[in-house]
Amino acid sequence: MKLRHALLATAVIGTLGLAACKRDAEPAAAPPAPAAQPGETADQFVARVNEEVRKLSTELNSAQWLSNTYINGDSELIAAKANERWLAQLNVWIEQSKRYDGQQLKPETARALKLLKLWTAMPAPKDPKKLEELTQLATRMEGMYGAGSYCTGEGAARTCRDIGQLSDVLAKSRDYDAQLDAWQGWHTISVPMRKDYVRFTELVNEGAKEMGFADAGEMWRSGYDMSPAELASESDRLWGQVKPLYEQLHCYARTRLDAQYGKDKGEVAGGLLPAHLMGNLWQQDWSNLWDILQPYKAAGSLDINSALERMAAADLARELAKPAAAGTSAAERSFAAQRAAQLATAKAMTERAQDFYVSLGMPKLPESYWQKSQFIKPMDRDVVCHASAWDMNMAGDVRTKMCIVPSEEELTTIYHELGHIYYDLAYNKQPPIFQNGAHDGFHEAIGDTIVLAMTPQYLASVGLVDAPKQSQEALINAQMRMALAKVAFLPFGLMIDRWRWGVFDGSIKPDGYNKAWWELKAKYQGVGPATARGEDFFDPGAKYHVPGNTPYTRYFLSHILQFQFYKALCDASGHKGPLYECSFYGNKEAGQRYWAMLSKGNSQPWQQTMKELTGGEKMDASAVLEYFAPLQTWLKEQNAGSTCGWNAAGTVAAPATPAKAG
């Protein structure tokens, strides 16, 4: 996930109870927009804003970083106030920019003024009191998420589990009841957010309307160098291209879950997949079900987890072998060694990811990155563990924030996050207003393009798996491994913003939030809850990006774009043969092409940037289908005779029509 001021306030982080620690004071007034400076041209205005943005960014991002990595009432207040000042200043710039409406402008100046208006995902009302309320709500909701835990028992028997521990149950346990308890437990953390989210929606809609948009959803859809309606239509078209592949994967997964748990538990009404059995709290990534879904048990070793666990064990053994400090007990020594080993393993995993980018000719990460990033979860405070990448000052102070554990999922997340970091470093030479992705889907696709190049041959070359044996079975295993992360994600990437667009435009009312959420999950993902989820729950808030107010269509688009980028870089590297066999690791030509694209930032329409890399100006899923062609053929063979599809009865849309596979 990409986090920086240009997406403000997609992640205003804080903790519980701002109202309890906040003094009753008058809200800070928004700075008044000065009168038009005599003779200030549009070019001069944009230059001035760029200068002011660069100065303000460090303070704002530092406040955000603090509230992510030290969750308490003080950091919450600091973040909320920094946000408030920024949004007030943004409103001032937007108001000042109106003086240039209707003027003949240079293309780059006109683009800068347009982007300025779309610079935040959290449009704030001009009323200073409402602006203050908005930032407090955003901070409080994210605080609830960041400090969320599921507690059971009373008194001395009371135990609490955080998101990492609950996720671990879904990933590793195959006990139906334990998985259901962990899934339901995490979804208790969002119940208190509902009231805040209703008010939050009212306020961002007011801000969006003051900027000239129908609602906040329309504003979000306006940032793609096309009309909001065209963006919605494009995402539907792309989903139509990949939906048949997803339906085959869904059918296969349901058959395997039925075999594992029994048909009465392996699916829910209408052939939906049970939400708590998919190995992930939100069913967006099915990689943790590899033990159930692996096509061929003895065909090629793709057990990255074992290699990382061996690395972690070696790091621990090395730390334990070091002389203990005088006066430390055996328990203290063991604890210190474990923490040092965890940090060493996390940094080694990050260095492994850095190596791929460097092999393409990109620079090593600055030393400050290694000193200032959060690699593992601290023991002495609450933090937001959700992985994110940060450009602190638009000039090279880049960081990632994670709570890394030795697993394949975490390793690929690191490769993803470093994609954001290298994008930041590449476009840091651009004026601040252009320091962003060509569109937000580009930013999310950069690192994932590298993940696609993590072929079995590449993984073997860096010691993460055994040397692969060439066989049809090994190929299907490799394709399934990638599909469980990439294909399984696609409908989830689409449905979250479908829900929010409905919330923003009023077609989804507050008293139907949860109903609409599960209707959309059924429609797009073919997933349902094993137990009733009424309006006493607020299940959307159990996904970080909802309380964090991060637009999500970017992630769907990125899962299309990354295959287009991957194919273009494979072509640039001179790859011959099936697309899925390509790894451009170490290829400087591919690296130069990629860096050139990254360096453009958002300085030109994304269609132009896309054409410079891929030769075409449209987003297209044909590379996804080309990549997974062997798997799709295999899935159809496996599903032959099965009733595929699902019945999303009771959803807003017409239910899917079950059909025979083949």
Give the DSSP H or E segment for 398: strand 398-401
CA distance 524 to 504: 20
DSSP per-residue letters across 45-65? HHHHHHHHHHHHHHHHHHHHH
Q: Give the C-alpha separation, 216 to 209, whole Å.
A: 8
By DSSP bridging, strand 159-162 and strand 149-152 are antiparallel
Whether the upstream peptide bond of residue 313 has omega within 30° of 0, thus cis, is: no
From 145, 224, 415, 555, active-site residue: 555
Q: Which of 11, 171, 275, 387 is catalytic?
A: 387
For the record, the structure tokens of 137 come out as: 């709500």
Structure-block tokens of residue 94: 């937007």
| Residue 457 one-letter amino acid | Q
What string of H, E and C letters represents the secondary structure of 530-568?
A: CCCCCCCCCHHHHCCCCCCCCCCHHHHHHHHHHHHHHHH
Q: b or e along 87-117 (b: 16 or more beta carbons within 10 Å of the residue's beta carbon)? A: bbbbbbbbebbeebeeeebeeebebbbebbb
Instruction: Kindly report the three-state secondary structure assignment for every residue of 134-156.
Output: HHHHHHHHHHHHHCCEEEECCHH
Catalytic residue among 444, 474, 568, 661: 444
Residue 6's identity, in one-letter code, is A
Residue written as tokens 């993460």? 464
Tell me the three state secondary structure of residue 390. strand
SS (H, E, C) 359-390: HCCCCCCCHHHHHHCECCCCCCCCCCCCCEEE
Residues 6+ apart with CB under 8 A from 601: 426, 427, 430, 434, 435, 436, 437, 438
- As given in the structure block, the two tokens for residue 526 are 């073919």
Q: Is 369 a catalytic residue?
A: no
- Distance between CA atoms of 567 and 549, rounded to whole angstroms? 32
**Kind and range of the H or E element at 389?**
strand 388-391
Cβ of 322: how many Cβ atoms within 10 Å? Answer: 11
Strands 2-3 and 659-660: unpaired
d(CA 152, CA 412): 33
- 545 tagged catalytic: yes
Q: Which of 250, 416, 443, 559 is catalytic?
A: 416
Catalytic residue among 187, 250, 386, 559: 386
- What would the two tokens of residue 249 be? 């994967």
| CB distance 543 to 496 below 8 Å | yes
Are the CB atoms for 366 and 422 separated by under 8 Å? Answer: no
Per the residue annotation, which of 420, 439, 443, 559 is the catalytic one? Answer: 420
> What's the half-sphere exposure (Cβ side, CA atoms, 13 Å) at 615?
5
Confirm whether 444 is a catalytic residue. Answer: yes
Structure tokens at 331: 């328990």
Please check whether residue 365 is in contact with residue 421, taking contact to mean a CB–CB distance below 8 angstroms: yes
The reply to whether 187 belongs to the active site is no
- For the annotated catalytic residues, the residue numbers are 386-387, 416-417, 420, 444, 545, 555
